[in-house]
Each structure stands twice: as C-alpha cells, then as structure tokens.
Structure 1
Amino acid sequence: MLTASRAAWFAVTFAFAVPSMLVMFRENGELTRGSWIQSLSFAASIAAIIAISLGKGKP
C-alpha cells in the first residue's frame, strides 16, 4: 500500500540515486538516451526497494 511515508522515501531516494546512476552509466563521458533510460530505471528500482523497506505502512 502506498502511504505518504513510502512516497516521501521514494522521492528522496530517487532524487539522490539519479545523479549517481548517471555518473555510473555514462558512455565515454557523454550522456546518451540509453544512459538516461538505464539510470532512471535503476534509480526507480533502488528507490522502490528503499521505500518498501523504510517506509511505514499500515499494519
């Protein structure tokens, strides 16, 4: 279930994960469309895992 706590954790984690993933997936120092897609998908996966594990849900 999506709660405000989980949404907040997702947003914060996503904001921090995207720049680090962009640095990791650059191709020869350049940002391409493929590197953006990979970075956004990996950042979303990381953010979802953190949101599920740290966000408070209703019991």
Structure 2
Amino acid sequence: MVSASRITWFAIAFTFALPSMLLMFREDGRITSGTWITSVLFAAAIATTATIFLGEAKQ
C-alpha cells in the first residue's frame, strides 16, 4: 500500500541517489542521454529499496 510516509521516503532517497548515479555513470566527464536513463533507473531502484525498508504503512 502506498502511504504518505512511503512517498516521502521515495522522494528523499531518489533526490539523493540521482546525482550520485549521474556522477558514477558519466562517460569521459560528459553526461549523455544514456547516462540519464541508466542513472534514473538505478536511482529508482535504490529509492524503492529504501522505501520498502524505511517507509511505514498503516495496516
């Protein structure tokens, strides 16, 4: 179930993960469209994992 807590955790984790992934996946110091796609996918995976473990849903 999606709750406000989980949405907040996802947004926070994604905000911190995306710049890190952009730096990690850049090619020769350049950020290309492929870099963006890869970074967004990895940042979403990291944010999803953080949300599952840190977000609290009401049951």
TM-score by length of 2: 0.96
- Does residue 13 of structure 1 match 2:13? yes
Q: Which runs of 5+ in 2 are unaligned?
A: none
Displacement of 1:58: 2.2
In the alignment of these two chains, the number of paired residues is 59
Tell me which stretches of 4 or more aligned residues in structure 1 moved more than 6 Å: none
Identity %: 56
Q: Could you tell me which runs of 5 or more consecutive residues in structure 1 were left unpaired when the two chains were aligned.
A: none
SS at match of 2:2: coil
Could you tell me which residue of structure 1 aligns to residue 45 of structure 2?
45
- Normalised to the residue count of structure 1, the TM-score between the two structures is 0.96
